[in-house]
Amino acid sequence: MFEELKNEVFEANISLVNSGLVLLTWGNVSAINRAEGVVIIKPSGVDYNKMKADDMVIVNLKGEVVSGDKKPSSDTATHIELYKAFPKIGAVVHTHSKFATVFCQANAEINCLGTTHADHFSGKIPVTRQLTENEVYENYELNTGKIIVERFKSLDPVSIPSVLVAGHAPFSWGKNAIDAVKNSITLERVAEMALFTLQLNPSAVLPDYILNKHYQRKHGPNAYYGQK
């Protein structure tokens, strides 16, 4: 019943490795079938070189395994929390990609410094607060999802499809697994360029009118970028 979505999630996970966003087993992709109320996610700690589409694990929205003979990703509770809070997303990606994770470890948001950023994100990439000690020791992964949702209380997760978890690493999402991976790739490149830009000019900034123009021409109601 879910073979097509399992294959999509598997291919998206492999694309994280091929795009250089993941080393070892440091990442995962999931996708949701909202009609059936299930999430398909990478198994925990499985070597990408040995992983198969059939290894993908199906869980319900309580995190219980519905199908699969492997343990789901340890980040499953975070993914589920995002699906519950952001009803327009269809997939979630988590990596420890180098440059985005640098900003996470520095507890620093990524301001929009140029049009590459503005083409994909309608504003700065936000950073969460640090988890409290109690939040870490009680339902760590669930609470990671909760602080992401908390950070997006006044933000649109569709127009800003990524977040930096303080002291941890980034999460991205999208309408499907391929879209979510694309947003993760874009986040990493934007983070790399921002880091070098700030070294050359710590006060660099892109005016809002340029940011808005670039975002709207690709994503706005009168978007004209690309082919019809």
- Kindly list the catalytic residues: 119, 225
CB atoms within 10 A of CB 117: 27
Long-range contacts of residues 130-138, Cβ cutoff 8 Å, at least 24 apart: 130/166, 130/167, 131/166, 131/167
The two structure tokens encoding residue 186: 């874009």
Are 110 and 164 in contact by the 8 Å Cβ rule? The answer is: yes
- Written as one letter, the residue type at 92 is V
CB neighbour list of residue 126: distance below 8 Å, 6 or more residues apart: 109, 151, 152, 155, 160, 163, 164
Are 53 and 39 in contact by the 8 Å Cβ rule? The answer is: no
